[in-house]
Amino acid sequence: MKKLFLFWLLSCFGYSLIAQESFMVSTETRYWNSSETYFGYTLFGTRGTSYLIDFEGHVIHTWNIGTNPRFTEAGTLLDAVGGDPSNSNQWKELDWNSTVVWSYTETRTNYHPHHDFEKIYNPKLGDSTFIYIANKDLTATQCLNAGCDPSHSYTGAQMDAIVEVDRSGNVIWEWCFFDHVVQDIDASKPTYGVIAGTPGRINLNISGNPVQKDWLHCNSLDYNQDSDLIVINSVHGEFYVINHGNTFIPSNPAGSITLAATSAGDFKYRFGDPAKYNQGVAPSVTANWEKSTAGNKQIGGAHDIQWIKPGLPGAGHFMLFNNDENLFELTPQSYIYEINPFLDSSGTNTGNFVNPPNAGYRTVNSPNSNLMKVSKNESKQITWKFSSKNNTSFYSTIGGSAQRLPNGNTLICSMNDGHFFEISPLDSFIVWEYINPMTRDGIKGVKVDNYPTYNGVFRAYRYDSTHPALSGHDLTPGPTMTGKTPSYWTPSTIQTLVKPLGKPMSNDLLNQNYPNPFSYSTTIVFDIPESKQVSISIYDLSGQLVRTLINKTCNKGKYSLVWDGTNDHGTQVASGMYNYILKTNDQQVTKKMVFIK
């Protein structure tokens, strides 16, 4: 018992709650700091079923599909069919009752879809479309004619493409890496060029990695509607930004595909391993061959590349789950990175993409000698990162996701152990933790030592009750996946398991303010179940009272307040994060908000 308590006590100081040195860990909700989490429901897919759960692990709803699910703005659930994120040629869009409202199947035999997909709104078309990653077959003749090193065999070669189809299933746009290559071994080929001078194209003859089947193994993509750009990530340590808007011609699929294959479709930005285009230091073994250095390589085996969405802290930056595969650390560990691609070497936000080598690097030393890490060069464009103090606490060899939440928290999914946790923005403390109980051998209340992904989950997402997929539906909590009564720890009862009795307390007592972050005013909605004295006040992070919005007896009902960013004296406050606290005679709820001038 003392050892168990120690594990949980350490969690309050930034450690993951999953005890890696233990061979057995309890599943489902393990910890919940209800005053610090971003209220909502967590969606994930496992073993062919999608689950929507609340913080205590109660199942709210399920769908009969479960590979890599996500909700759409149309209020549907979209997922690949088959249960394997790395290989599926069919997708379905389901309503709340699991009725199929749309589906698409890639029937072309030379295209092999895998990993990621997204329903987007194409502003040039004025309609929603669907994009996905697919490996496209190449012949050996195509590879050699493009300038691939003739000393290699190219049987079975493939390169990734991004395909866009309309709601009728017609291919209306396509972009492929093979149309954006460069090589420096055969001057007679049109692809010949100086590698370092052509960062917008990929080197056909990367040392030690000739073109082959699943050559780039791209595993994630995202679309930015405001800029009409697409970002796509390769497991080999780079992600690339391409211009969709400048290469899409409405009502002209053939013209769009042709235009996307020109220089208009070259990379607008790339991040991760500049040695691949001869502008950075490559990873290498040191003089002491028991050690190595990552050079200027930043990411390896990464997943879930995305733009942080508008209105969220860090909006417009990139975020990804850096698995830290193939980064040559003596003791590897996974990280979450936030990257601002517009920063130059002085840290100035230029408003335009800056080539990472031009932004430069900082030397980062290990925070603790027991991690046994050498110093490394970290890009100055990395503006925030998260890693556990124990380097194995959420290490995942494959998969994984990260999602920035409106209150500044980040929801993380580590695939290897089906491990979800939410961290706060300032101190990176864990505020919620959950272990997926669905394993290869069925639902388990305790996870025993097993090989990676025994209870794996590719990604997890958080949605609040106002999302179109949830609004208007019955969100009454049902049983947990194991059927057990939730049993977890909280900050105030760190030595006592919480065993809720009856229906959990309504999370609608105090809603998250909206918009958040805000610049002019924000609305706070709260719900009072019975007549009582209520106060709602705003505090800065030092604990100083800023503004009292209400302090009176409220009858049963729903209320809303507006805060204009001023203190009790009418003076506008400084930009930053603030706490707003609802107090009654028997409860206190705290949430965070961000004010930006």
Query: 163 phi and psi, to 5 degrees?
Result: -115, 140
Q: Which helix (H) or strand (E) holds 116?
A: strand 111-122
Task: Name the DSSP letter for residue 227.
Answer: T
Instruction: Name 582's bridge partners.
Output: 536, 589
Query: 592 phi and psi, to 5 degrees?
Result: -110, 150
Q: Tokens 């539906």 appear where?
A: 473
Count of C-beta atoms within a 10 Å radius of residue 517: 21
* E-state strands within 244-333: 269-271, 284-285, 292-293, 303-307, 318-322
Quick check: 443 and 26 in contact, CB under 8 A? Answer: no
As annotated, the residues of the chain forming the CATH 2.60.40.4070 domain(s) are 509-595
What do you get for the CA distance between the two ends of the chain, in Å?
49
Per-residue tokens: 469: 């997929």
Q: Which CATH class is domain 509-595?
A: mainly beta
Q: What is the per-residue pLDDT across 477-509, written as a single tens digit (0 to 9) for each?
A: 999 999 999 999 888 765 445 544 433 334 447
Q: What is the pLDDT of residue 584?
A: 81
* pLDDT string in tens for the chain (597-residue length): 333 333 333 333 333 444 444 678 899 999 999 989 999 999 999 999 999 999 999 999 999 999 999 999 999 999 999 888 888 999 999 999 999 999 999 999 999 999 999 999 999 999 999 999 999 999 999 999 999 999 999 999 999 999 999 999 999 999 999 999 999 999 999 999 999 999 999 999 998 999 999 999 999 999 999 999 999 999 999 999 999 999 999 999 999 999 999 999 999 999 999 999 999 999 998 888 888 889 999 999 999 999 999 999 999 999 999 999 888 888 889 999 999 999 999 999 999 999 999 999 999 998 888 888 888 999 999 999 999 988 888 999 999 999 999 999 999 999 999 999 999 986 678 999 999 999 999 999 999 999 999 999 999 999 999 999 999 999 999 999 999 999 998 887 654 455 444 333 344 478 888 888 787 788 898 888 888 888 999 988 767 899 999 998 888 888 888 898 999 888 889 888 888 988 887 677 888 888 876
